[in-house]
Amino acid sequence: MKSSDLNQRRSADQAPLLQTDRAGVGTPNPGGKDYSILQETLTSILATVVLGLIVSGLYPLVVWGLGQGLFHHKADGSLIVAADGTTVLGSELLGQNFGGKQYFNPRPSAAGAAGYDPTASSGTNLGPTSDKLINGQHKKDAAGKDVTDPSNFDGIKDLVAAYRTANGLKDADAVPADAVTRSGSGMDPHISVANAQLQLPRVARERGKSPDEIRQIVDKYTEGRDLGIFGEPHVNTLLLNLALDGKLPSVAGK
């Protein structure tokens, strides 16, 4: 729009409703004699009701209609339904815990006792100088042995050691950061491409398949940057693991 257009518009729009051009401007007591705090309170209550009905009633319903109409699957939570048509296996967007060797293991999670609990989404909220974050927290019995306890917490050191053991890495090998840090939501389904590559030989071995076969499936569930610039490439572990198990309807037929 050229600025000359705007000026024209502005002068054409000098309707009586203009707030700047209203009769009250410049007069010393524009409120008039009928102004009262009672009247203003009543207006406040009416405004709460009227605007409330619009922003809390009409607006979410309009969005609901648009969403359900245009993007039904996503508006309902991007659910993955098994081949039987009823059992829900998860949501494409939410991670699940996979500890088994035949699976690509997702990031550790701080959401709920079992991890990946969508009703308790959270990170660890531990800072970089936290002893608990680095060394973990392990309850010991009188003899100094580890005992199981809900307050036990694996630190970065524990997670690094476990990752190296699981994937046959040497002690000097550095571990991808995403593999040993907990995400902000505790629901992150994604791992880095480097992390997936390190896990790939183990998964192939456990499943008795060639690494190339597995790699093809990994590539399929690797998401690049949005529009080529936003974010980091990542692998969706839930979709990948379900595909490996043949549970994804689209993959099951292969």
Partner 1 sequence: MGILLLITKPLGIYLFQVLDGKNTFLEPVLGPVERFTYRLLRVDPRREQGWKQYTAAMLLFSLVTMVFTYAVLRLQDHLPFHGIIDGLLNKTAITPDLAFNTAASFTTNTNWQAYTGENTMSYFSQMVGLASHNFWSAAVGIAIAAALVRGIARHESGTVGNFWVDLVRIHYYLLLPICIFYAAFLISQGIPQNFKPYDTAQLTEKQTIQVPKTDASNNPVKDTAGNVVLQDQSVETQSIVEGPIASQIAIKMLGTNGGGFVNANAAHPFENPTPLSNFLQMLSIFAIPSALTYYLGRAVKNQKHGWAVWGAMAAIFLVGVITCWKAEADGSPNLYRNGVVQTDGNMEGKEMRFGIFNSALFATITTDASCGAVNSMHDSFTPIGGLVPLFNIQLGEIVFGGVGAGLYGMLIFVILAVFIAGLMVGRTPEYLGKKIQAFEVKMAGLVVLVLTLSILGFAAWAAGANNFGAPDPVTNALTNGTNNNGPHGFSEILYTFSSATGNNGSAFAGIGANTPWYNTTIALATLIGRFFMIVPIMAIAGSLAAKKLVPAGPGSFPVDGWTFIILLIGTVLLIGALNFLPALALGPVVEHFLMYTGKLF
Restricting to residues 203-232, which ones interact with partner 1 according to CB under 8 A?
223, 225-227, 230-232
The residue from 7, 18, 201, 209 that contacts partner 1 (CB under 8 A) is 18
| Contact status, residue 234 vs residue 95, Cβ threshold 8 Å | no
Q: How far is the CB of 145 from partner 1 (least distance, A)?
A: 15
Q: In whole angstroms, give the CA distance from residue 28 to residue 37.
A: 19
What is the closest distance, in whole angstroms, from the C-beta atom of residue 209 to partner 1 in the complex? 18
Give backbone dihedrals phi and psi of 71, rounded to 5 degrees, phi first.
-130, 60
What region does 144 belong to: left with phi over 0, alpha with psi -120 to 50, or beta?
left
Among 30, 168, 201, 246, binds partner 1 (CB under 8 A): 30
Nearer to partner 1, 89 or 204 (CB): 89
User: Which residues neighbour 149 within 8 Å (Cβ) at sequence distance 6 or greater?
Assistant: 139
Spatial contact of 242 and 80, defined as CB atoms under 8 Å apart: yes
Site string for partner 1, 44-73 (x = CB under 8 A): xxxxx-xxx-xxxx-xx-xxx-xxx-xx--
Taking the C-alpha atoms of residue 238 and residue 248, their distance in angstroms, rounded to an integer, is 10
Least distance in angstroms from the C-beta of 69 to partner 1: 9
For partner 1, the binding residues in 69-108 under the rule CB under 8 A are 70-71, 74-80, 82, 87-94, 96-100, 103, 107
Q: Is 251 helix (H, G, I), strand (E, B) or coil?
A: helix
Strands 79-81 and 190-191: unpaired
Write down the least CB distance from residue 219 to partner 1, Å: 17
Cβ proximity of 189 and 176 under 8 Å: no
| Residues between 168 and 207 that touch partner 1 (CB under 8 A) | 171, 173-178, 180-192, 194
Stretch that binds partner 1, among 40-48, 199-207, 209-217 (CB under 8 A): 40-48
Instruction: Please state the separation of Cα 71 from the chain's center in Å.
Output: 18
CA 254/CA 240 separation, integer angstroms:
14
* Contact between 143 and partner 1 per CB under 8 A: no
Single out the residue of 4, 33, 85, 148 in contact with partner 1 (rule: CB under 8 A).
Answer: 148
Tokens of 149: 């306890």
Of residues 111 through 130, those in contact with partner 1 by CB under 8 A are: 111, 113-130
Pair of tokens at residue 24? 């009250």
**Residue 252, interface with partner 1 (CB under 8 A)?**
no
Residue nearer to partner 1 on the CB measure, 66 or 252: 66
User: Which C-beta is closer to partner 1: that of 52 or that of 168?
Assistant: 52
